[in-house]
Amino acid sequence: MRPLLVIALLALTAGCVTSRPPIPEQPNAPTSVGIVDTVGKQWDQADQKVAASVSIARENADRPEVVRSETAVALSFLPAANEGELAIARARAAKADQKDYAAAEAFGKKLLAQIDSNWAKVEADNREALRVSQLKDARIAELTADIDRVKAEASRNIWTLTGAGLAVIGALAFAFGGGARVGLPLLISGAFCGAVPHIIDSPYFNWLALGTAACVAGLGLWWLADKVHDKVNAPPADHTHDDDQAPKV
């Protein structure tokens, strides 16, 4: 009985050694590369349509109905202008100074170049963030595998050392008068402990465990059914002699 208790305690110890809290996954990059590319293509498409409508409006400056229609199409791709910008544009149109138009055109080209540069940096930064995130995921998976391997080796070492210790104790029990009654169970327990890692690592372990559990469950059900059957079929108790032996008043 004592060797079995030792094995049970060692099994609990090995379970504690191999258990570990789950490692959280590395979060993805701040923004998906696919989303960034999609938004960039949509903006490019809208810009091209606006530019095309304004270009056609300029080509048909002598046809007011075409200018109004094409500029309406261009405005449909743009947010509504605020009152401040509208006031600046009205003042510029009322003054009709070509210097003001040249300055506004230069400012627009400079702003567009800055926007394009910033957007390209956003795309590059997002691709780099995704690359670094994937590298971290791979490193976390590698470290997790190393931890699992070290835990498994530690568990196997515990079982191996336990088996060797029990075998030594069993041999000493044989040598110093304990006899087979003490030494043999210890030797058997030592051999079992030493074989536990090989049993667990076996590809047939899960099937053997399921088969053993099914056999134990079947034996338990058979024992319970036999108990109930014996109780139901037990002969009724005979109370005749009890009445004869009752004291008479």
> pLDDT tens, 168-206?
887 777 777 666 777 777 777 777 777 777 777 677 767
Whether 169 contacts 189, CB under 8 Å: no
Q: What is the pLDDT of residue 158?
A: 82
Q: Which residue has the higher pLDDT, 136 or 183?
A: 136
For residue 113, being part of any structural domain is answered with: no
pLDDT at 223 over 60: yes
Distance CA 240, CA 247 (A): 14
Q: What is the pLDDT of residue 157?
A: 82
Q: What is the pLDDT of residue 249?
A: 46
Q: What is the pLDDT of residue 239?
A: 53
Geometric angle at alpha carbon 246, from 244 and 248, rounded to 5°: 100
Q: pLDDT confidence of 91, banded at 50, 70, 90?
A: very high
Q: Would you call 220 helix, strand, or coil by DSSP?
A: helix
Give the least confident one: 153-157, 160-164, 232-236, 238-242: 238-242
Question: Mean pLDDT throughout 67-84?
Answer: 90
The runs of H, that is alpha helices, within 60-204 are: 64-76, 83-95, 98-175, 179-201
pTM equals 0.45
Distance CA 198, CA 240 (A): 65
Question: Mean pLDDT throughout 106-111?
Answer: 91
Q: Would you call 68 helix, strand, or coil by DSSP?
A: helix
Give the least confident one: 4-18, 126-140, 218-232: 4-18
For residue 242, being part of any structural domain is answered with: no
Q: Which residue has the higher pLDDT, 14 or 121?
A: 121
For residue 53, being part of any structural domain is answered with: no
| List of E strands, 136-229 | none
Distance CA 80, CA 71 (A): 13
Task: Tell me which residue range forms the domain holding 227.
Answer: 204-233
CA nearest to 139, candidates 147, 150, 129, 127: 147
Per the prediction, the chain carries an average pLDDT of: 76
Phi and psi for 203 in degrees, rounded to 5? -65, -15
Q: pLDDT confidence of 73, banded at 50, 70, 90?
A: very high
For residue 214, being part of any structural domain is answered with: yes
For residue 172, being part of any structural domain is answered with: no
Distance CA 169, CA 3 (A): 11
Place of tokens 């009985």: 1
User: Tens digit of pLDDT for each residue in 13-64?
Assistant: 444 444 444 544 555 555 555 676 777 788 788 888 888 989 999 999 899 9
Distance CA 57, CA 70 (A): 6
For residue 223, being part of any structural domain is answered with: yes
For residue 209, being part of any structural domain is answered with: yes
pLDDT at 247 over 70: no
Q: Indicate the number of domains in the chain.
A: 1
Q: pLDDT confidence of 3, banded at 50, 70, 90?
A: very low
Whether 137 contacts 26, CB under 8 Å: yes
For residue 220, being part of any structural domain is answered with: yes
